[in-house]
Amino acid sequence: MFNDTIVAISTALGEGAISIIRLSGNDSIEIVSKLFKGKNLIEVNSHTINYGHIINPEENSIVDEVLVSVMRAPKTFTAEDVVEINCHGGIFVTNKILEILLTHGARLAEPGEFTKRAFLNGRIDLTQAESVMDLINAKTEESLNVALNGLDGKVSQLIKNLREEVLFVVANIEVNIDYPEYDDAIKMSNEILKPKIFEVISKIEKILEYAKTGKILREGIKIAIIGRPNVGKSSLLNILMREERAIVTEIAGTTRDIIEGYINIGGIPLKIVDTAGIRETNDIIEAIGVKRSIKALEEAELVLLVLNNNEKLTESDKNLLKISESKQRIIIINKSDLETKIEKELLKNYIETTMLDDKSVDVIEKKIKDIYNLGDIKTKDQAYISNSRHIAKLKLAKRSLEDAIESIELEVPIDMVEIDVKDAWMTLGEILGEEVGDALLNELFSKFCLGK
Ligand SMILES: Nc1nc2c(ncn2[C@@H]2O[C@H](COP(=O)(O)OP(=O)(O)OP(=O)(O)O)[C@@H](O)[C@H]2O)c(=O)[nH]1
Ligand SMILES: [Mg+2]
């Protein structure tokens, strides 16, 4: 439990109809009650909303007309006493109230500190806390569902079940160590432990397989449109975004800088960047743009490499084909409405498009769906492990279990096997936040916005 009471503005700063200032901690009700003209907040029932005014006690003046929610521990977001002040939106009023609270006993919360308290007070586990952040960042309904399932504890349940199965293995080993006469260790290892460990490994593998989709749902896919000047990259961005996002002209070298946008294919958020056409150039600005294009290519998870149907392949094209080879990519032969001059026989696995026709969008979208298996993603009840931290831990746990199998096969003493299995159990616990250190926690929660 914490002794101090924290406060932060929980709504986005800016002109809005209302702003919410939230306090959490032992003194939150008392602090607000001293600054509130209306019912005595110390005596009101828990989980009530109370009308009144916030006053500035020094000047004895009214600051704002407000609604104050009083929520006593433990059934609150942080499991502490929580007060929320709904005041009129507006940067000045909101900041003024915050300032008065800060001079009357509350401390400014750090980013994510409310959620951190919820976690440290045992109200939610770490995967749920992380889901709060995902929820805020969700860009499509599907990514929202993934976050909600996480918040709901579906991810935790999945990990808890795995942990229990691992514990079963540990328990069997312990029994054998305590009562060696009871069972033959080698026989038990082969007949009970090995199949069970294999079972857990294959469950982890399945979760990791799903995780690929989960990660995509959560983070989307970074796509870069690459090609030499004038092939139709910006036209492609515009048609995918269904708006005139980038300037398109017949002049080669129109796009000078990276242009970004988000699109949504089958509920998956895709971040696409249009880039400057890549070519040798003496123009300083264009040259910087070209450098950025190369960087965008390197950072992208998926590359849309655009070529011109109406021209023979150039050295530049060949170079781009080469440097994008190791990437997940789609080769797009554009301007298919014009006469074909490109040597198609030198290319394989391409699609043909023309930006004069909207149908090209469907062709490209279908291709992306196929590559990432986005056709039948179900987010409603599926618990996706999507967080890189979780994925890394799952892989570690899997490795420990594989070590255990190897030890069994080498017929090493059973307590050596136990060390590996226990490692797996601990690692899974770290996903839930059961064995994590302060440094990790601070790092995780600092990614939250203020007031969460
Ligand atoms: N006929 C035809 N013209 C196209 C097609 N796609 C783009 N264009 C035209 O080609 C020219 C260049 O298009 P952009 O989209 O600006 O090309 P870009 O690759 O972004 O060019 P840079 O920004 O200079 O690298 C414009 O005049 C477009 O209207 C197509 O499929 N068919
Ligand atoms: Mg362009």
pLDDT tens per residue across span 275-333: 888 887 788 887 887 888 888 889 999 999 999 999 999 988 998 899 899 999 999 99
What's the CA gap between 292 and 281, in Å, rounded? 14
Q: Does the pLDDT of residue 380 top 60, yes or no?
A: no
3-state class of 40 per DSSP? Answer: coil
Question: 242 is written with which tokens?
Answer: 């269904």
> Which ligand is closest to the CA of 278, given by its number?
1
Protein residue with its CA nearest to atom 24 in ligand 1? 253
Stretch 61-81: mean pLDDT, rounded? Answer: 95
Rounded to the nearest whole angstrom, what is the distance from the C-alpha of residue 270 to the centroid of ligand 1?
A: 22
Domain 131-216+384-433 has CATH 1.20.120.430: yes
Lowest-pLDDT range of 3-12, 47-56, 265-274: 265-274
Angle (CA) 411-189-405 rounded to 5° is 65
Q: Which residue has the higher pLDDT, 376 or 347?
A: 347
What confidence tens digit (pLDDT) does each residue in 388-430 have?
Answer: 788 889 999 999 999 999 999 998 888 889 999 999 999 998 8
Closest residue (by CA) to atom 3 of ligand 1?
A: 335
What does the pLDDT average to over 374-384?
65
**What's the mean pLDDT in 241-270?**
86
Give the sheet arrangement for strand 268-274, strand by strand.
259-265, 268-274, 221-227, 302-308, 328-334, 350-352
User: Whose C-alpha lies nearest to ligand 1, atom 1?
Assistant: 335
Ligand nearest to the CA of 251: 1
**SS3 (DSSP) at 360:** helix
* 309 sits in which H/E element: none
SS3 state of residue 141: helix
231 CA: nearest ligand 1 atom = 19
Q: Cα(293)–Cα(234) distance, rounded to whole angstroms?
A: 13
Are residues 332 and 353 in contact, defined by beta-carbon separation less than 8 angstroms? yes
Residue nearest to atom 8 of ligand 1 (CA): 232
Say if residue 179's pLDDT is above 80.
no
Q: Which atom of ligand 1 is nearest to the CA of 357?
A: 31
Q: Is the pLDDT of residue 377 over 90?
A: no
> Could you tell me which residue, 421 or 146, shows the higher pLDDT?
421
Q: How many CB atoms lie within 10 A of CB 46?
A: 14
Neighbours of 180 (CB within 10 A): 11
Sorting pLDDT into bands at 50, 70 and 90, what band is 226? very high
pLDDT averaged over every residue in the chain? 87
Residues 6+ apart with CB under 8 A from 60: none
pLDDT, residue 448, reads 66
Paired tokens of 228: 């030499």
Which of 355, 361, 363 has the most ligand 1 atoms within 8 A of CB, as the residue to mutate? Answer: 355
What residue ranges do the domains of the chain occupy? 5-124, 131-216+384-433, 220-355
Q: What angle do CA 398, 147, 109 make, to 5 degrees?
A: 105
Determine the Cα–Cα distance for residues 288 and 52; give it in Å rounded to an integer.
58
Atom of ligand 1 nearest to the CA of 335: 31
Residues of the chain with pLDDT > 70: what percent?
Answer: 93
Contact residues of ligand 1, CB 6 A cut-off: 227, 229-235, 248-250, 252-255, 276-277, 334-335, 337-338, 354-356
Q: What local confidence, expressed as pLDDT, does residue 58 receive?
A: 87
Note the Cα 438 to chain centre separation in Å.
21
Lowest model confidence (mean pLDDT) among 104-118, 175-189, 307-321: 175-189
DSSP conformation letters of 52-109: EEEEETTTTEEEEEEEEEEE-TTSSSSSS-EEEEEEE--HHHHHHHHHHHHTTTEEEP
What is the CATH topology of the domain spanning 5-124? Gyrase A; domain 2 (3.30.1360)
Residue of 217, 195, 64 lying closest to 134 (CA atoms) = 217
pLDDT higher at 213 or 311: 311
The protein residue whose alpha carbon is closest to atom 27 in ligand 1 is: 250
Sign of the alpha-carbon torsion through 171, 173, 177, 180: positive
Distance 339 CA to ligand 2 centre (A): 22
CA dist 391 and 314 (Å) reads 42
pLDDT score recorded for residue 436: 63
> Strand 328-334 vs strand 302-308: parallel, antiparallel, or unpaired?
parallel
User: Taking a C-beta distance cutoff of 8 angstroms, is the pair 127, 52 a contact?
Assistant: no
Q: Which ligand has its closest atom nearest to the C-alpha of 252?
A: 1
For residue 55, CA distances in Å to 34, 85, 108, 388, 403 come to 9, 13, 19, 47, 65
Is the Cα dihedral 263, 268, 269, 271 positive or negative? negative
**For residue 173, pLDDT beyond 70:** yes
Ligand 2 center–CA 25 separation, angstroms: 54
- How far is it, in rounded angstroms, from Cα 449 to Cα 302? 30
Q: Are the beta carbons of 110 and 120 closer than 8 angstroms?
A: no
pLDDT of residue 89: 81
The token pair that represents 56 in the structure block: 């500035």
Q: 389: buried, middle or exposed (CB in 10 Å: 19+, 13-18, 0-12)?
A: middle
Class of domain 220-355: alpha beta
How many angstroms is it from 313 CA to the middle of ligand 1?
A: 16
pLDDT at 12: 78
The pLDDT, as a whole number, for residue 278 is: 83
* 253 Cα: distance to centroid of ligand 2 (angstroms): 7
Q: What region does 349 belong to: left with phi over 0, alpha with psi -120 to 50, or beta? A: left
Substitution candidate for ligand 1 out of 235, 257, 353, 357 with most atoms within 8 A of CB: 235
